[in-house]
Amino acid sequence: MQTNQPPFGVLLVNLGTPAAPTKTAVRAFLKQFLSDPRVVDVNRVLWWCILNGIILNIRPGKVAKLYQSIWWQEGSPLMVISRKQQQALQNQLLSRTGLDIPVELGMSYGEPSLDSGLKALEAKGVKNVLVLPLYPQYSCSTVASVVDGVAAMLKSRRNLPELRFVRDYHDKKGYIAALAQSVKQHWQQHGQSQKLLLSFHGVPERYVNEGDPYRDHCYKTAELLAQELALTTEQWMVCFQSRFGKEPWLTPYTDETLESLPKQGVKSVDIISPAFAADCLETLEEISIGGKETFLHAGGESYRFVPCLNDDEHHMAFLADLALQHAQGWS
């Protein structure tokens, strides 16, 4: 009988990243990502034709250039940060419990895969697996995709681990406190702008109309953060970024908001993306670089990006609390 078997292990999940900022690597990543019916749920035959005949012949080169603009010397920002989060969470769990609780990464798309993460936990004797998707707000296109992916990886196995999933943490006190602390630190260093924009990743409006609670989760996060920061209703607003395709997505759109604010007398903004647990292309390029260009070109004077929580100690302490809460009874 194994006496050193860990009480549980954590599979830390994020979206994933291309292996390199090249057209070939980006094409492989986009093909896997955009083939997921949770992400794009239109007619499969029609979408296969559009994806393989048009999108994968046009977008990879453009997206590769965007990745090149934000790629770090150590590698993909998302992967570098995710590895730091993995180690920080394991250290937090060790300090809380005195036990070496394994934490492995498993990306929905690209490497390390969900399958490799699960196998790494199994190799360490883990029988109880907590799947922790780093998506604070639930969406069928993110969290549900993780559930699908894990189920698919285990489909052919004879001996399954006991599984638990963290569905969301959009309104958890520790998460809101970590966000507030990051904004306060930013203000201490740079001063406070006229308005704080909370830019969440968008989803098609149709998903919400069909029951996805994502928009409600985003607004709840925003309201709680505004309360924690003691902001008036005029000092903050929600917007949605990264829309794709022709159908309506959640509004107001971040780019259109940034373009319109200077005309309304708002010349300085701080912007934060609370739906992202780690900085990535959508924050480092789309928001930090592209958003700034849009705002300043429209007549804005000061634009400041508040980084994601990444491996900040308050963030990692919260994630450790969250993991231990969901792991109760495993010993």
Sequence-distant (6+) residues with CB within 8 A of 314 are 174, 177, 178, 181, 182
Q: In this structure, what token pair is assigned to residue 196?
A: 């704080």
Q: What is the C-alpha separation between 221 and 316, in angstroms, rounded?
A: 18
| E strands, 168-267, in order | 195-201, 236-241
Angstrom CA distances, 196 to 45, 159, 188, 241, 306, stand at: 43, 49, 15, 15, 10
In the chain, what is the straight-line distance between the N-terminal and C-terminal CA atoms, in Å?
A: 15
Bridge partner residues of 129 (DSSP): 9, 163
Q: Omega into 21 within 30° of 0, i.e. cis?
A: no
259 is in an annotated binding site: no
201 is in an annotated binding site: yes
Q: What is the largest CA-CA distance in the chain?
A: 70
Q: What is the C-alpha separation between 302 and 197, in angstroms, rounded?
A: 13
Q: What is the C-alpha separation between 93 and 264, in angstroms, rounded?
A: 48
What angle separates helix 77-97 from helix 313-326, to the nearest 10 degrees?
Answer: 60
- Strand 302-306, strand 268-272: pairing: parallel
Angstrom CA distances, 208 to 26, 108, 175, 280, stand at: 29, 22, 23, 25
Q: What is the C-alpha separation between 307 and 299, in angstroms, rounded?
A: 23
Could you tell me which residues are annotated as the binding site?
201, 282
Could you tell me which residues are annotated as the binding site for Fe(2+)?
201, 282
